[in-house]
Structures are given as C-alpha cells and as structure tokens.
Amino acid sequence: MEVIKLNQLNNYGVSERFFTEATLYPEYQLARVIAQYRGKYKIVTEQGEMLAEISGKLRYDTEELAQYPAVGDCVMVDIQPELAVIHRVLTRKSLFVRKAVGVSGQAQPVAANVDIVFLCMSLNQNFSLNRMERYLSIAWDSGAVPVIVLTKSDLCDDLPQAVSQVENISSFSDAIPLSMFDADIGEKFQPYFQKNQTCAFIGSSGVGKSTLINKLLGNTVMETQEIGRGDKGRHTTTGREMFPCPLGGVVIDTPGMREMGAESADLSKTFAEIEELARHCRFRDCTHTSEPGCAVLAAVESGELDSRRLESYHKLEHETSYDGLSSKEIEVKKCERMFKEVGGMKNARRFAKEQRKRK
C-alpha cells in the first residue's frame, strides 16, 4: 500500500531528493503544487489531489512574490478536513520568473523545479529574434535547460532561413520546427521527457502551446482557440497547470505572455559570442558603445557581429542591471544613462543651467 502512495507523487515528478528533504519536517506531509489559481493552489499528495492555501505564518514571513509557492514546487502541508495548508516550500532546483506587473522590483514565479523549458514562438507575424533572445536569457538564468520550439512552420514562407536565424542565436539550445499537421510530434519530443522530469512550455499568447500539449498528452485537456484577426494569437490558458505526460515525467502549461520582463537574465550563454569578444576589449569596463579599442564594436564594423544582436544585448543588459535597486535608485540610474553623453547628471544640470542663461 505504501508503494502505491509513493507512486502517486512519482507520477508528478517528485524525485528522491524531495522525499529526503521532506524527512526534516515529520509533522507535515509532502506534496507538489500542480495548479495555481487566485489565492488557492491545487496540490497532489500521497492521498491524491486537493485544494490548498498557504498558512498565515508563511504569508507573514514571505517578503517577495518569488518566495510564494509556484506550480512545480514541492511543499510541506498539513491536511485539513476541507483543504490543505502549505507551511513550507522545499529547496528549489530551478525557478522561472518574470517581472511582476505593477509591483516595483518584484519577480513573479512562473514555474519551479523545471528541468526542460520549451520556449515557443510561432513562425508567423509573432516571429521575433529579439523576443527569443529575451526568453533564452531568462531561461538560462532560471536553472532549466531551454529548448526552442518553432510552431506553425506551415505558415512560414522560408522555413530554412527562419530556422537558420534561430540556430544562429540559440547558442547551446536545440531548435525544433513544428507544424500541428506533423504526425511525429511525440517522436520529436520523446528525447526530452523521462521519469521524474519536469518540462514547461512558455511563450506568447496564441503560439499553440495548448494545442501542442494536448497532442503530447493524447487528450484534449487544454482549451484552445482559433487564431485571431491580424494573425494575432488569442489568450487561452489563464492559470498554470501540471499534467503527467505519457512520454514520461510531467508537463506544465503557462498563460501566454504578451511581453516577459527580464527580472534577471543569463547573458553569458545567450550572447556567448559577445561575451567572448568582450574579453579582447582594451578596457575591462568597456560598455561596447563608443570606447576606443572595443573588440565588440570592431566585430560589428567588420560584419562579424550583427548590429541587431548587439542592440538586443544592450537592451537586456540595461533592463536587468536594475536588479536589487529601490525605485528611487532605478530612476537615478536611468537618468545617469540618459545624460551619459554630457557626462552624467551633474554635468547635465550644469548644461541645462548654461542653456537657460543663454536664453
């Protein structure tokens, strides 16, 4: 009977490391968060699925959004008659986050303990190399291994060229072109799914994540919608949810995101060639904007490096350099960047004062 109980958690990708850590809290039961709603969670325990909420103490002790439970988290719970109470989040091995809307300086957890994250982008008007570079940077920073999925390849006018462009920026990531008419979708994804493996699908609204997951699960569990006018995808998934996958392990679907703010990002893998070139710059603190002896700018000048690539690198670098700063500090840093050409804020004030005198 005990083996059957453990299999219930094993079916949802709970590995041995979490069973071991759970022994530190014998007063509670081990569970995994498999869905997230507004103010509530769905968890799976040895007894099966049930709703849960976080304890008052955990809520009081939690200072940041990223510390709250997320789909994929393994948690310690107390089973109550009507619902379970989450008392502790076990140590995460990875965390995929995005900037929270309307909460300054906060990171919002998207999915936890993910092994493989499939970054989905459709090969229609949604196609954007800048967006994929953003996704890759955030994914590498999360601790998960990113795999690029190019959906709706049947809508692409020049598939080989599109795949080549993505492979040029993919660094260490695989790229899978995909059409919903493909008969071998399961075969293409089989290498990434195995026992106790957690895979998540992330991408913009309407790229076909839910349709793809339905095909992998062999059942229509996710609601789908037709593509909207103007080739824009319609938002279908409204919550985050986890499902056991016949290929092995579990799969997490996430809501489509019009834009994913980069709370933190690993640029060293996504822009590996820029990081390598930077080692040969004359100055160690080179910003690759206007400094003499900049190897990165020289590569752009010679055509070795695409200028679009460098612009994307600068944008993500600037966005993530605000990590840990207060709102006031962020504004000061933005102003310093704005007035860099005239030597910073102090010189900018002096410049403005001189301009007023001339008038």
In this structure, the answer to whether residues 244 and 132 fall within a common structural domain is yes
**Residue 62 belongs to a domain with what CATH number?**
2.40.50.140
- What are residue 116's DSSP bridge partners? 145, 199
In this structure, the answer to whether residues 114 and 244 fall within a common structural domain is yes
Range of the domain at 242: 98-102+109-253
Res 171: pLDDT:
75
Contact between residue 239 and residue 219 where contact means Cβ atoms under 8 Å apart: no
**Residue 239 belongs to a domain with what CATH number?**
3.40.50.300
Spatial distance between the Cα atoms of 309 and 288, rounded to a whole number of angstroms: 12
Last residue of a domain, which of 32, 62, 90? 90
Spatial distance between the Cα atoms of 162 and 127, rounded to a whole number of angstroms: 9
CA triple 40-209-270, angle to 5 deg: 100
Residue 133 domain flag: yes
Residue 297 domain flag: yes
Res 232: pLDDT:
42
pLDDT digits (tens, 9 = 90+) for 163-210: 999 988 887 789 999 987 888 888 999 999 988 899 999 888 778 888
In this structure, the answer to whether residues 340 and 307 fall within a common structural domain is yes
Spatial distance between the Cα atoms of 201 and 211, rounded to a whole number of angstroms: 11
Residue 259 domain flag: no
Tokens of 42: 């769905």
Alpha helices in the chain (DSSP H): 2-10, 16-22, 56-61, 129-142, 159-169, 185-189, 209-217, 267-270, 272-278, 295-302, 307-320, 327-338, 345-358
In this structure, the answer to whether residues 40 and 153 fall within a common structural domain is no
Range in 22-36, 262-276, 295-309 with the lowest mean pLDDT: 262-276
pLDDT digits (tens, 9 = 90+) for 66-82: 889 999 999 999 998 88
**Residue 72, SS3?**
coil
Overall number of domains in the chain: 3
Chain centroid, CA 44 distance in Å:
24
In this structure, the answer to whether residues 117 and 247 fall within a common structural domain is yes
Spatial distance between the Cα atoms of 195 and 155, rounded to a whole number of angstroms: 34
In this structure, the answer to whether residues 300 and 345 fall within a common structural domain is yes
Residue 260 domain flag: no
Considering only CA atoms, which of 118, 113, 117 is closest in space to residue 33?
Answer: 113
In this structure, the answer to whether residues 43 and 135 fall within a common structural domain is no
Tokens of 87: 């008392």
In this structure, the answer to whether residues 236 and 273 fall within a common structural domain is no
Tokens 């106790």 locate to: 196
Residue 261 domain flag: no
CA atoms within 13 A on the CB side of 83: 13
In this structure, the answer to whether residues 190 and 246 fall within a common structural domain is yes
In this structure, the answer to whether residues 85 and 113 fall within a common structural domain is no
pLDDT class of 308 with cuts at 50, 70, 90: very high
Q: Write the DSSP symbol of residue 336.
A: H
pLDDT digits (tens, 9 = 90+) for 4-48: 445 678 889 898 999 999 999 999 999 999 999 888 999 999 888
In this structure, the answer to whether residues 217 and 343 fall within a common structural domain is no
Residue 262 domain flag: no
What's the Rg (C-alpha) of the chain?
Answer: 23
pTM score, whole prediction:
0.75
In this structure, the answer to whether residues 203 and 282 fall within a common structural domain is no
Spatial distance between the Cα atoms of 110 and 239, rounded to a whole number of angstroms: 10
Pairing status of strand 198-203 against strand 250-253: parallel
